Structure 1
Amino acid sequence: MTTDPAATKALDVAIAGAGPTGLAFALSLARALGPGLRLAVFDPALARPGAADARASMIAADGRNLLKGLGAWPDGAAPVAGLRITDSRLDDALRPTYLELDAPERTGEPFAHMVYDTELRARLRERAEAAGVALVASALTTHAAAPGGLRLTLDDGGVVRAGLLVAADGAASPVRTRERIKTHQFAYDQTALVATLDHEASNGGVAVQHFLPGGPFAMLPLGAHKSSLVWSERREVAKEMAALDDDAFSAEVEKRAGPDFGRISLAGARGAFPLRFLLARSFVGARVALVGDAAHVVHPLAGQGFNLALRDVAALSEIVAGAARRGEDFGAEATLGAYERARRFEAASLAAATDGLYRLFASEGTRSLRDVGMGLVDRAPGLKRRIIAAASGL
């Protein structure tokens, strides 16, 4: 169910984008400030039924705690016991493990969980509606300064006023473009092939990432005999792979997965997504805040993209709710400056780190050096614990 735009003429907060990031922020703020908050999410996609989506996200402990606290944790979330990393060529007979990251010992919790994106979006939408968030199947086409806030226009000609506009409208963010926030961005010569797979042998709940010459090839557990595939491959090769029929595609996956999974077959839709790097020069504008892909897009090799987005959600909702409780203007420059300071450094650091890892593993000339480095990390308990704590969101 979506809300009539006429019911949202005067808002405290408007959110552009009804993906998991936008819905999570709306729900988080609605839960924090209660029914008196005038809050709406705008996205034409709200009028369309959800299409089949092959993607799943690996969610770290802090993201899981946020979603559980919001009552939006999907029932089918699959625990990930650990991560095994190999570095090899496609035709290597053996793929030795250079680094293993297990669940943090002190928590008794899994390393992470895998969640289907479609299930998470549906759960967030359901909980947001129950919390009184208005869901409007219209696009915000312009925004401009107005006394005490912003004047927003919709694609149907409607006009809305809001004290704060949150851009959760993706990497090509129209809000960010209109606000003239510059970005540092470039395209990788890679495409991510994603699919849900059934396999004969159990994965033991362990995620596996093979660093192959074409790019990282990850099998992420969705159950003992089901995995989410995230296969980053050179653009031209990925185009050829995407054009294969299901049986031929499965055979190519088997070749790269190695013998540990046995026979592999497709268990649902598959997709292909060009990979890019993007970092906004600022995460805020005049009464505007960027979250998720509107602010940063990182290479999926570390599985941290959506975790970064959930940390944006947690920080911005806490800062806005705190300002509201103190009677302050939560769209003011000082309030949004606190969000910028809280989030941009971590996002920029992780973006640089993932890009550096991509370039390190893309070069055959650095193979010996990186394998020695991973081996040393695997044998250094203190350093390994710190890496596990960071990767698992602790």
Structure 2
Amino acid sequence: MDRSDVIILGGGLVGLALATALDAHGLSSIVIDPADPVATLAIGFDGRASAVSSASWRMLDAIGVGERLAPFGCPIESIRVSDGLSPQALIFDPSAEEGPLGHMFENRILRGMLRASAEEAANVTLLMPARAERVERDGTGVTVTLTDGRMLHARLLVGAEGRNSPTRDTAGINVARWRYDHAAIIASIGHERPHGQIAYEIFYPAGPFAMLPLPDDESGPRSAIVWTVKASDAHAMLNLPDRAFLAEAEKRMGRMLGALRVASPRSAYPLGFHHAARITGERLALAGDAAHGIHPIAGQGVNLGFRDAAALVEVLVDGARLGLDPGDAQLLARYERWRSLDTFMVAAATDGLTRLFGIPGPAAAAVRRFGLGMVQRLPPLKALFMAEARGESGELPRLLRGQLV
């Protein structure tokens, strides 16, 4: 029977980051994921890109992934938020000393670099593809039996399989969830003018339209777009001819980046909200989308997962120094307390913004623009929003400050 300190079910961005961070502190883990890693790293597998906040970036750098990732990312030097194409915008412009607000990466690049780091880690075992057939948790530990008959044992199980986590469901954890009448159209587009490392969030009643800077390719500047449309329109948007799609995108962008070109295939993702009633159980912790899923309106989804990983690592490492078992109920209670309020507040804020900016009519638009103007004119309030964008609010785990535990 193979043994480790932790078994992680789910080898996505959060699961791999958690395994690598545990390794940096001498704790061992086994990562199990049914997906074929060759397929998940293919260009067409996942067209999404993620904004890694400055706090999450410090964690990735501290655990040795930052050096691998740096050549493939684009720093976000400014964020501009507007209601429609109104010239009145909320602008987050950090000083040179403060550094970028975050970095943009294509998800397949993030996944590939995290996987490469995990493969080189002395204390990480990757079982991909592999599937857990039976999971048993009791007072002495966790035993996972794979479909090929192999048996694995650890002191703690982490469910990081994503929104439809079977680990969460099997544990009987209730989830508050609903679907928005929205889908996100995801694509990379090239454009005539440089993006200046600026991220744009333009709110329309039908949903936000985000342009997120990516590194230039051989054809010139490019950005990732996240275009929220009515769920009933998603199929039609995917099947528009390229010329018509780009023409519609140019209108949403106010043609600020000039002529557009196709830089990747389009894909669509349904949007929803879910929040687990609790994120721990007997020898069990949930992390990432297994614990919470939010609207991409603020680009915080993957960062919430990285914050989960940083907090869980700190709790487990502090416990190990005291001689405590990684599955000790005291440690899991600390993780629950630490993460529950933060994830709930971010989830509630993004849900509220989604509903607020979805109200149609000139009166609602006037109120929104007044609110954005007030934040722009009040430095303390603006600093609070900027700290949220950086992932620097609340009690930060040491990894998010760039320090090993």
TM-score of the alignment, normalized to the shorter chain, above 0.5: yes
1:235 deviates by: 0.5
The residue aligned with 1:31 is 24
Contact (CA 8 Å) 1:198, 1:266: kept in 2 or not?
yes
The residue aligned with 2:402 is none
Name the CA distance, whole Å, in 1 between partners of 2:315 and 2:178.
31
The residue aligned with 1:392 is 390
Gaps of 5+ in 1: 1-7, 89-93
Name the CA distance, whole Å, in 2 between partners of 1:141 and 1:172.
16
Query: 2:104 matched to 1:111?
Result: no
Change (3 A) 1:163 1:388: same
Name the CA distance, whole Å, in 2 between partners of 1:264 and 1:346.
39
The residue aligned with 1:4 is none
Query: 2:264 matched to 1:268?
Result: yes
The DSSP-based 3-state class of the residue aligned with 2:115 is helix
Query: 2:207 matched to 1:215?
Result: yes
Q: In percent, how many aligned pairs have the same letter?
A: 40
Name the CA distance, whole Å, in 2 between partners of 1:85 and 1:39.
41
1:319 deviates by: 0.7
Query: 2:69 matched to 1:78?
Result: no
Equivalent runs, 1:301-340 vs 2, <5 Å: 301-340=297-336
Name the CA distance, whole Å, in 2 between partners of 1:100 and 1:295.
31
Query: 2:12 matched to 1:19?
Result: yes
How many residue pairs align between the two structures? 378
Contact (CA 8 Å) 1:191, 1:275: kept in 2 or not?
yes
1:146 deviates by: 4.0
Matched residue type, 2:342: E
Name the CA distance, whole Å, in 2 between partners of 1:232 and 1:54.
15
The DSSP-based 3-state class of the residue aligned with 1:241 is helix
Matched residue type, 1:42: I
Correspondent of 1:138 among 114, 130, 136: 130
Name the CA distance, whole Å, in 2 between partners of 1:191 and 1:47.
27
Superposed CA RMSD: 1.5
1:317 deviates by: 0.8
1:18 deviates by: 0.7
Query: So what's the TM-score if we normalise by structure 2?
Result: 0.90
Query: 2:197 matched to 1:205?
Result: yes
Equivalent runs, 1:121-160 vs 2, <5 Å: 121-132=111-122, 133-136=124-127, 137-146=129-138, 148-160=140-152
1:106 deviates by: 7.6
The DSSP-based 3-state class of the residue aligned with 1:363 is coil
Contact (CA 8 Å) 1:46, 1:135: kept in 2 or not?
no
The residue aligned with 1:241 is 237
1:325 deviates by: 2.3
Query: So what's the TM-score if we normalise by structure 1?
Result: 0.92
Change (3 A) 1:47 1:381: closer
Contact (CA 8 Å) 1:85, 1:209: kept in 2 or not?
yes
Name the CA distance, whole Å, in 2 between partners of 1:288 and 1:347.
18
Moved over 4 A (4+): none
Query: 2:276 matched to 1:283?
Result: no
Contact (CA 8 Å) 1:186, 1:277: kept in 2 or not?
yes
